[in-house]
Chains A and B, each alone.
Chain A
Amino acid sequence: MAALGVATGGGDWFSALALGVTLLKCLLIPTYHSTDFEVHRNWLAITHSLPISQWYYEATSEWTLDYPPFFAWFEYALSHVAKYFDQEMLNVRNLNYSSSRTLLFQRFSVIFTDTLFVYAVHECCKCIDGKKAGRELTEKPKFILSVLLLWNFGLLIVDHIHFQYNGFLSGLMLLSIARLFQKRHKEGAFLFAVLLHFKHIYLYVAPAYGVYLLRSYCFTANKPDGSIRWNSFSFLRLISLGLIVFLVSALSLGPFLALNQLPQVFSRLFPFKRGLCHAYWAPNFWALYSALDKVLSIIGLELKFLDPSKIPKASMTSGLVQQFQHTVLPSVTPLATLICTLIAILGPEAFSDV
């Protein structure tokens, strides 16, 4: 009774927050789920029923495997638990199969894997110094951070309603950040490398990691005023980081390299045929660009500058995933987007002190 009292006592707000949000996630089980639910069921089926050589070639369903190999292995591990819930969901031909047990299993798998996220948040809170704050619980930085991360409603909606596995992936990223804060750079690098091979979209933040590790880990000493001491560069450290990344990549892509399937894997991971904007536009620069192109084309049609017969109808706003050409403004190639991204990342750094 005393142990229960201590566990539920006023001091352990973190457990209360974590348990509370987990219960909320359980209540979200019967909510709407998107096609991503079928995507993951399909991947469970693919990894369970087919040999590795078929994983990135299988195309019975339109939702082909387009995440890196570690995620495929993750689905493989899940499928061994799934077979106790409903064997039928592991059949590749059972498209759109969503029995109540399948739903229960999938939802619980997201809720369960979120444990990593909870652990990562706990580690992040340890990195925060909360001594300056007041005694009120709601004023403590640790409490505020925990609430913002654990009860993040965007994550709740995308993971537990729409259906995805961003929880444990974000957990991996937060954990690697926490390790970097705790000066455990090699672990942080390892965790991030692993994360990249779970979901390659985290390449978005790879440059930041690269630069940070280079500056904070490879350069072992600073000048008294905090700026870089160029001659303290440690090749050994650079090589150790490189080795970590190499070994993780080898573990992930090795089997597919041996099967000569790397080009296929990359074409699945980086599907440039899908076009500049997705079916639902992300609120980014290219959405503005495409919108401007649309407005200009309408004005052009009204003022009779453009020939209606040469313009395809509803080319970008139809909600289809496809490549298309812009009408008025120049079309954007993948290389152009890469260059723009690099300029955006490096530009501000050119004006700041190293």
Chain B
Amino acid sequence: MEKCYLMTAVVLLGLTVRWTVSLNSYSGAGKPPMFGDYEAQRHWQEITINLPIKQWYFNGSDNNLQYWGLDYPPLTAYHSLLCAYVAKFINPDWIALHTSRGYESQAHKLFMRATVLIADLLIYIPAVVLYCCCLKEISTKKKIANALCILLYPGLILIDYGHFQYNSVSLGFALWGVLGVSYDWDLLGSLAFCLAINYKQMELYHSLPFFCFLLGKCFKKGLKGKGFVLLIKLACTVVASFILCWLPFFTEREQTLQVLRRLFPVDRGLFEDKVANIWCTFSVFLKIRDILPHHIQIMISFCFTFLSLLPTCIKLTLHPSPKGFKFTLVSCALSFFLFSFQVHEKSILLVSLPVCLVLREIPFMSTWFLLVSTFSMLPLLLKDELLMPSVVTVMAFFIACATSFSIFEKTSEEELQLKSFSISVRKYFPCFTFFPRIIRHLFLISVMTMVLLTLMTVTLDPPQKLPDLFSVLVCFVSCLNFLFFLVYFNIIIMWDSKNGRNQKKIN
């Protein structure tokens, strides 16, 4: 019973933080003619309620795709339609065709923020609560502390309730997928994950681990018996859910193709704006975007992405386990973020969600990663005038993690899951015993750099010749951190089985 009260208090605290952040400005506030993501979402409500489905993704006199054309899968469109019906009931001016462009008012802001809160409350938050309650081998207090830390993760709060997006829907569905698949509710899990992909196509970053894990489960059950049945059932579930979501768009070939063209804009180039991935960082030294032709860029990005995630995915297929699954989600999503095509800085949230799930296993490294992920979005947050809520939520998150998990005491080799790796390293370098110390020093350097860069970006003006200096520096530092984490997560995944094998030998 006490657990219920404490968990409720934690959820309410999370909601309070979310709602107070939502009082601040949103993306593109008061900035005609294009405004920002807030206007994009409002525009999609306008399009979906006023135009027939066949015109949603097409360019036309009523639907100018250059002005925030729909570029998310159908489920986002249906969600916008639902919101638009409510908006029509309250004030039709908000979604009147053409005339409501750039509509801004306090009442409308309240409505939009409320839609985010409701979606969050219905999908993401229950998933987090259920996930924490189902954790095994830890006390009730630790479960609740875990829930508090996940709910206080600043990146998601600032983007959803500040900048304005609906990431909690897609991440929530993905989390339901993880829950289902980890606890052997495979069909429901894959259904949930299909819904996630059909809400935002970026969830494809998570698709390979899901695929490999489920495939691995089928293999384990034996492909000639139960495994094969499971495989067929899963395939049917996936196909059925896709057909259900895309039904109105499957009537004509041209419809389907146009939607795909909007979802995957391969013409747009290797990266856009400043993002903390390899290509943007590399282009500081060498302008690959201008040097290499388009199709070569796509090829290189494809190769790097798949080469970097192949080892962990193969490992997951051969040895499927819920723990391995979560870690592979992290490394896969991180590989995609670092090497893939047209990555936006907000895509780091797709890596942050699985990292939140492994907070309990490696609290120190997870907290560190989640801090860096929020920092990597600093230029975006500053543009939206979210400095105060950013600083406050980051500090709150840090304090919550530090007090809940005592992270600074958990930096031994064992607790960083590096034991088996360091044993292997010590076979060649017997005196190498200072992993924890190195990692603690790196953490200090990382945090100091982030704090310094934040102060500099806020207080100083960049030199005239290099107007983007601070954004580029933020991306550069974040990218270095992310590369380090990519190596770290790959190490602990690949060396995990060796630990298991050694233990079996000892026993």
For A20, the chain B residues whose CB sits under 8 A away are 396, 399-400
For A4, the chain B residues whose CB sits under 8 A away are 402, 408
For A50, the chain B residues whose CB sits under 8 A away are none
Answer whether A27 and B399 are a contact pair too, CB < 8 Å, given A1-B408, A5-B406, A10-B406.
no
Bound Cα distance from A12 to B404, whole angstroms: 11
Which residues 175-231 in B have Cβ within 8 Å of A in the complex?
none
Q: Are B20 and A9 touching (Cβ within 8 A)?
A: no
Bound Cα distance from A28 to B389, whole angstroms: 10
- Chain A 173-202 near chain B by CB (<8 Å), digits 1 or 0: 000000000000000000000000000000
For B408, the chain A residues whose CB sits under 8 A away are 1-2, 4-5, 8-9
Please count how many residues in chain B sit with their CB below 8 Å of the partner chain's CB atoms.
Answer: 23
Measured CB to CB, the closest approach of chain B to A330, in angstroms, equals: 47
- Measured CB to CB, the nearest residue on chain A to B145 is A10
Bound Cα distance from A303 to B406, whole angstroms: 73
- Chain A 53-92 near chain B by CB (<8 Å), digits 1 or 0: 0000000000000000000000000000000000000000
For A19, the chain B residues whose CB sits under 8 A away are 395, 399
A16 lies within 8 A of chain B by Cβ: yes
Partner of A30, one of B24, B395, B444: B24
For A29, the chain B residues whose CB sits under 8 A away are 388
Q: Are B403 and A31 touching (Cβ within 8 A)?
A: no
Bound Cα distance from A30 to B409, whole angstroms: 37
Q: Are B403 and A26 touching (Cβ within 8 A)?
A: no
Bound Cα distance from A2 to B389, whole angstroms: 28
- Measured CB to CB, the nearest residue on chain A to B396 is A23
Measured CB to CB, the closest approach of chain A to B12, in angstroms, equals: 11
- Measured CB to CB, the nearest residue on chain B to A5 is B408
Q: Are B444 and A1 touching (Cβ within 8 A)?
A: yes
- Measured CB to CB, the nearest residue on chain A to B401 is A8
Partner of A10, one of B2, B392, B403: B403
Answer whether A8 and B395 are a contact pair too, CB < 8 Å, given A28-B20, A30-B24.
no
Q: Are B399 and A8 touching (Cβ within 8 A)?
A: yes
B283 lies within 8 A of chain A by Cβ: no
A24 lies within 8 A of chain B by Cβ: yes
Bound Cα distance from A23 to B390, whole angstroms: 11
A270 lies within 8 A of chain B by Cβ: no
Q: Are A26 and B409 touching (Cβ within 8 A)?
A: no
Bound Cα distance from A228 to B207, whole angstroms: 80
A230 lies within 8 A of chain B by Cβ: no
Bound Cα distance from A28 to B24, whole angstroms: 10
Bound Cα distance from A1 to B396, whole angstroms: 19
Which residues 428-443 in B have Cβ within 8 Å of A in the complex?
440
Q: Are A27 and B21 touching (Cβ within 8 A)?
A: yes
Q: Are A8 and B403 touching (Cβ within 8 A)?
A: yes
B288 lies within 8 A of chain A by Cβ: no
Measured CB to CB, the closest approach of chain B to A114, in angstroms, equals: 15
A13 lies within 8 A of chain B by Cβ: yes
Measured CB to CB, the closest approach of chain A to B264, in angstroms, equals: 38
- Measured CB to CB, the nearest residue on chain A to B397 is A23
Bound Cα distance from A5 to B20, whole angstroms: 29
Q: Are B399 and A16 touching (Cβ within 8 A)?
A: yes
Bound Cα distance from A5 to B367, whole angstroms: 14
A138 lies within 8 A of chain B by Cβ: yes
- State the main secondary structure of chain A at its contact with B: helix
Which residues 137-158 in B have Cβ within 8 Å of A in the complex?
none
Q: Are B403 and A27 touching (Cβ within 8 A)?
A: no
- Measured CB to CB, the nearest residue on chain B to A32 is B23
Measured CB to CB, the closest approach of chain A to B282, in angstroms, equals: 33
For B444, the chain A residues whose CB sits under 8 A away are 1
B17 lies within 8 A of chain A by Cβ: yes
Measured CB to CB, the closest approach of chain B to A289, in angstroms, equals: 38
Q: Are B388 and A5 touching (Cβ within 8 A)?
A: no
Bound Cα distance from A22 to B393, whole angstroms: 12
Answer whether A8 and B392 are a contact pair too, CB < 8 Å, given A1-B440, A27-B17.
no
- Measured CB to CB, the nearest residue on chain A to B444 is A1
Bound Cα distance from A31 to B388, whole angstroms: 13
Bound Cα distance from A272 to B2, whole angstroms: 50
For A31, the chain B residues whose CB sits under 8 A away are 20, 23
- Measured CB to CB, the nearest residue on chain A to B5 is A138
B449 lies within 8 A of chain A by Cβ: no
Which residues 367-416 in B have Cβ within 8 Å of A in the complex?
388-389, 392-393, 395-396, 399-400, 402-403, 406, 408-409
B16 lies within 8 A of chain A by Cβ: yes
Bound Cα distance from A142 to B400, whole angstroms: 20
- Measured CB to CB, the nearest residue on chain A to B403 is A16
Measured CB to CB, the closest approach of chain A to B54, in angstroms, equals: 43
Q: Are B392 and A27 touching (Cβ within 8 A)?
A: yes
Which residues 444-479 in B have Cβ within 8 Å of A in the complex?
444
Answer whether A5 and B409 are a contact pair too, CB < 8 Å, given A27-B21, A28-B20, A30-B24.
yes
Measured CB to CB, the closest approach of chain A to B8, in angstroms, equals: 14
Q: Are A27 and B406 touching (Cβ within 8 A)?
A: no
Partner of A9, one of B17, B389, B409: B409
For B24, the chain A residues whose CB sits under 8 A away are 30
- Measured CB to CB, the nearest residue on chain B to A139 is B2
Measured CB to CB, the closest approach of chain B to A5, in angstroms, equals: 3
Bound Cα distance from A8 to B408, whole angstroms: 9
Which residues 20-70 in B have Cβ within 8 Å of A in the complex?
20-21, 23-24
- Measured CB to CB, the nearest residue on chain B to A137 is B141
For A12, the chain B residues whose CB sits under 8 A away are 403
For A27, the chain B residues whose CB sits under 8 A away are 17, 20-21, 389, 392-393
- Chain B 274-305 near chain A by CB (<8 Å), digits 1 or 0: 00000000000000000000000000000000
- Measured CB to CB, the nearest residue on chain A to B395 is A23
Measured CB to CB, the closest approach of chain B to A21, in angstroms, equals: 10
Partner of B392, one of A5, A16, A23: A23
Q: Are A8 and B402 touching (Cβ within 8 A)?
A: yes
Bound Cα distance from A5 to B407, whole angstroms: 8
Q: Are A138 and B392 touching (Cβ within 8 A)?
A: no
Q: Are A30 and B16 touching (Cβ within 8 A)?
A: no
Bound Cα distance from A277 to B280, whole angstroms: 66
Measured CB to CB, the closest approach of chain A to B439, in angstroms, equals: 11
Measured CB to CB, the closest approach of chain B to A37, in angstroms, equals: 16
* Chain B residues proximal to chain A, CB less than 8 Å: 2, 6, 16-17, 20-21, 23-24, 388-389, 392-393, 395-396, 399-400, 402-403, 406, 408-409, 440, 444
Can you report 12 residue pairs joining A to B where beta carbons are below 8 Å apart? A1-B440, A8-B399, A8-B406, A9-B403, A10-B406, A20-B400, A23-B393, A24-B17, A30-B20, A30-B23, A31-B20, A31-B23
Extra pairs beyond A4-B408, A13-B403, A27-B389 (18, CB < 8 Å): A1-B408, A2-B408, A8-B403, A8-B406, A8-B408, A9-B406, A16-B403, A23-B396, A24-B17, A24-B20, A26-B388, A27-B17, A27-B20, A27-B21, A27-B393, A28-B20, A138-B2, A138-B6
Q: Which 3 A-B pairs have the closest CB atoms?
A: A5-B408, A8-B402, A27-B20
